[in-house]
Amino acid sequence: MDIMNVLDKGYVRLVNHMGSDLTVVNSARVSYAKESKELSEKDIKLIKFLAREGHTSPFRHVIVQFEVYAPLMVARQWWKYVIGSTHQEATGDSLDAWNESSRRYITEEPTFYIPTSSEWRGKPENSKQGSGDIVTLEIGETYTHELMAYVEEGVSKYEAALKDGICPEQARLFLPAYGMYVRWYWTASLQSICHFLNQRLEHDAQKEIQEYAKAILELTKPLYPNSVEELIGVN
């Protein structure tokens, strides 16, 4: 499995990866000029020790690359982890890279995330952020239709601007931004990925990005089962 569908039209695809649990072990043991050829119980204990004690630099020698297709509101939350990646540890860069499609250059048909009538959430009772329970179907249906109409109007104006010769980088101003799907490549160290997962799998994270975090976990854990097991909930 190298791709997982998320939300109505989104997905996460595993593009490439480097290293294994053994890479983590050998990156730690190089200090003593030692190397393991096969993962042993002793090596697994070392991974547990590294994660527990916060010795995270060996986990930065493992790299994973994903292609993500998600609404802009998810992308901009995710982008915070790239901006802050060099500050996660005093020991150095966590090796994050991000390259995103741009409507300055592409004019493919825009796609939008439209929640169904049963997916709209109300305000939380005791928090300034996040959301609460699902609203009534009647209210949900009203806002699904409202959003669809808003998107259709924006797309119509966008296409009209392009037809009249307006450049794509300005015509895109007519597109409703937050729900529009964007595509990007995210390349990150295992430490950085697990830092993202620890925060975005939490119950108080926005539900949409939680769904993407679950997909990242499902694609990553089979590659590095021991390391992910120890880093999730620790880092």
- List, by residue number, the catalytic residues: 200
Q: What is the pTM of this model?
A: 0.89
**CATH assignment of 3-105+181-231, among 3.30.950.10, 3.40.50.450, 3.20.20.70, 3.30.1360.170:** 3.30.1360.170
Residue spans per domain, the chain: 3-105+181-231, 114-178
The CA radius of gyration of the chain, in Å to the nearest whole number, is 21
DSSP 108: P
95's CB contacts (< 8 A; 6+ apart) are 60, 63, 85, 187, 188, 189, 192
The pLDDT value recorded for residue 128 is: 66
The pLDDT value recorded for residue 226 is: 97
DSSP 64: E
Per-residue pLDDT tens digits for 6-46: 999 999 999 999 999 999 999 999 876 777 899 999 999 99
Per-residue pLDDT tens digits for 143-177: 999 999 999 999 999 999 999 999 999 999 999 99
Per-residue pLDDT tens digits for 186-213: 999 999 999 999 999 998 899 999 999 9
CA distances from 182 to 15, 73, 114, 229 (A): 17, 10, 14, 30
Whether 67 has a pLDDT exceeding 70, the answer reads yes
In angstroms, rounded to a whole number, what is the distance separating the alpha carbons of residues 5 and 211?
10
